[in-house]
């Protein structure tokens, strides 16, 4: 198993779901991924926040919607070692602070931002909790990808904030940008200009591992979810973009042998 007890700063370390129905989310993701999303002793004092468990490990968060009009969505958090300094870097480079740095019990500190294009992301400065304890497995967080209409501006912004460097890969007619930290691949950027409706804002898309993407898609439809795109084959694997029954978008992917070999080489699995 791909177990984690720490993350290099600049690495996405946690994902969580904001949903109007936590019980329905537990049923859906439980059937799909084998998660349990129990109410914890401190869930009430943390605004109803829960942690999903897979094989005894924390793999993702889930919480109720916090304000009227908030859409159901998955969010990505990047591990940092100085949340104040990086929060200033966000604002100095054209981003916006949505939620100021705050302590979460003894687990760590978080803050929420948007990049200059409006994509929401979070930062996590760990204390007792580093992030997902299991990654790159079936039903676990495996990848996160920025859907952007201006990849050059996005590279400048995230490079300035997190120190990310970028590698370009050709995927058909699209140039895909891979963010790296110390040479390790940590996130992607896809140019969606002209590929998705204009009313869909820039956003981060969370990918979960799937042993068989087609089987996962069939189950998603059976459980009341929707398929937005795919399944299709790309060099990284076979993937599909979907939504859960409440409308939160995410992706499932069966990684290719090349992707698995590269992850093993970089110590990610």
* pLDDT tens figures, 178-190: 999 999 999 999 9
Give 162's contacts (C-beta < 8 A, 6+ positions apart).
9, 10, 78, 80, 86, 179, 181
Q: Are residues 69 and 105 in the same domain?
A: yes
Q: Are residues 148 and 211 in the same domain?
A: yes
pLDDT beneath 50, residues of the chain = 1
Residue 45: what pLDDT? Answer: 76
Domain CATH code at residue 106: 3.10.180.10
Residue 131 in domain:
no
Domain that holds residue 165: 141-265
Residue 258: what pLDDT? Answer: 76
Residue 263: what pLDDT? Answer: 66
Residue 6 in domain:
no
Residue 269: what pLDDT? Answer: 54
DSSP 8-state class, residue 265: H
Residue 163: what pLDDT? Answer: 97
Residue 2 in domain:
no
Q: Are residues 165 and 259 in the same domain?
A: yes
Count: domains in the chain: 2
Q: Are residues 195 and 255 in the same domain?
A: yes
Q: Are residues 152 and 102 in the same domain?
A: no
Please compute, for residue 260, the number of CA atoms within 13 A of its CA located in the half-sphere on the CB side: 12
Residue 7 in domain:
no
From the number of C-beta atoms within 10 Å of its C-beta (0-12, 13-18, 19+), residue 74 rates as buried
Q: pLDDT tens digits for 70-109?
A: 999 999 999 999 999 999 999 999 999 999 999 999 999 9
Q: Are residues 148 and 261 in the same domain?
A: yes
Residue 101 in domain:
yes
From the number of C-beta atoms within 10 Å of its C-beta (0-12, 13-18, 19+), residue 212 rates as middle
Q: Are residues 205 and 175 in the same domain?
A: yes
Q: Are residues 47 and 73 in the same domain?
A: yes
Give the 3-state secondary structure of 82-114.
CHHHHHHHHHHCCCEEEEEEEEECCCEEEEEEE
Q: Are residues 19 and 109 in the same domain?
A: yes
How far is it between the farthest Cα atoms of the chain?
50
Residue 255: what pLDDT? Answer: 81
Q: Are residues 25 and 102 in the same domain?
A: yes
Q: Are residues 32 and 122 in the same domain?
A: yes
Residue 134: what pLDDT? Answer: 95
């Amino acid at each position: 198993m791909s177990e984690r007890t720490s993350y290099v700063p600049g690495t996405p370390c946690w994902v969580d779901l904001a949903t109007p129905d936590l019980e329905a989310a537990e049923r859906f993701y439980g059937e799909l991924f084998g998660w349990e999303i129990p109410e914890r002793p401190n869930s009430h004092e943390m605004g109803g926040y829960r942690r999903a468990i897979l094989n005894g490990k924390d793999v993702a968060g889930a919480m109720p919607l916090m304000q009227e009009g908030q859409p159901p969505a998955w969010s990505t958090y990047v591990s940092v070692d100085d949340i104040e300094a990086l929060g200033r870097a966000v604002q100095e480079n054209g981003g916006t602070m949505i939620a100021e740095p705050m302590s979460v019990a003894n687990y760590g500190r978080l803050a929420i931002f948007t990049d200059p294009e409006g994509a929401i992301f979070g930062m996590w400065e760990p204390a007792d909790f580093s992030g997902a304890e299991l990654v790159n497995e079936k039903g676990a967080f495996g990848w996160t990808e920025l859907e952007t209409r201006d990849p050059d501006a996005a590279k400048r912004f995230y490079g300035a904030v997190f120190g990310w460097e970028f590698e370009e890969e050709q995927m058909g007619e699209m140039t895909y940008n891979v963010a790296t930290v110390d040479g390790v691949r940590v996130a992607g950027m896809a140019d969606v200009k002209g590929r998705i409706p204009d009313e869909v804002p820039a956003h981060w898309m969370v990918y979960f591992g799937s042993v068989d993407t087609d089987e996962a898609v069939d189950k998603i439809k059976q459980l009341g979810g929707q398929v937005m795109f795919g399944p299709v084959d790309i060099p990284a694997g076979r993937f599909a973009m979907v939504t859960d029954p409440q409308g939160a978008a995410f992706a499932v992917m069966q990684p290719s042998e090349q992707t698995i070999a590269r992850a093993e080489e970089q110590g990610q699995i």
